[in-house]
Copies of this chain bind each other. A is one copy, B any other.
Amino acid sequence: MAEYNPLPLLMVSEQMAKLPGIGMKSAGRLAYHILNMPEEEVAVFARTILEARKAVRFCKVCQNFTEQEVCSLCDDERRDHKTICVVEAPKDVSAFERAGGFDGVYHVLHGLLSPADGITPDDIRIRELMARLSGEVDEVIMATNPTIEGETTASYISRLIKPLGIRVTRLAYGLPAGSALEYADEVTLQRALENRNEL
């Protein structure tokens, strides 16, 4: 006997299952929830998502999501536009802004180089970064994750920039604050030792 699923439940499940990290079981649970929501709430949900998607654009300077031509960070004259912090994704910009302490500007790559996944320099916003360097830029900080892809991307971009005579730096490796030395992995510990500072 074939499985019986009411059509509306099936339709919503299928859409939810297209999202990353949502399997058929979660999709069914979400669909059930949505069909039980008041219709007006579902209308707001659907409308907000579509309107946000329609309104979103990439900041023509830093490539971060924005609803303006130039995002509010790039448009802020009080920030130091000579220092560019290069990150993988918009959430990394949020992380730096939450942490505080950086008053330069950003560049969002929207991905990392990954030969294994077929992601090449043309697939991420490297060309847009290079185009920003013709002006008065003193330093580019490579702030990609300390992973293989993050390192590959940082060193690739670094090799492109150095010939321009612009300083390129990398976030420090070391022990995370509040962590215990005994739980640190070998690479982290080695780097923390190599990069030790005078007291």
Contact = CB atoms under 8 A, between A and B. Distances in A.
Interface of A: 1-9, 11-12, 14-15, 18-21, 26, 28-37, 39, 42-56, 64-67, 71-73, 89-91, 93-94, 97-98, 100, 110
Given A30-B19, A97-B2, A100-B1, A45 B49 contact: yes
B33 A53 contact: no
A132 to B, nearest CB: 19
A50 B56 contact: no
Given A32-B89, A39-B54, A90-B32, A71 B2 contact: no
A14 B97 CA distance: 19
B43 A50 contact: yes
A6 B66 CA distance: 5
A73 to B, nearest CB: 6
A40 to B, nearest CB: 10
A44 to B, nearest CB: 8
A8 B97 contact: no
Contacts of A100: 1
Contact of A91 (B28, B39, B49, B64): B28
A90 B49 contact: no
B52 A49 contact: no
A34 B66 CA distance: 14
A101 to B, nearest CB: 8
23 contacts: A1-B98, A3-B97, A4-B72, A4-B73, A5-B94, A6-B65, A7-B52, A8-B52, A8-B55, A9-B56, A11-B48, A15-B48, A15-B49, A19-B30, A19-B33, A21-B26, A32-B89, A32-B90, A34-B53, A35-B52, A42-B49, A42-B53, A43-B50
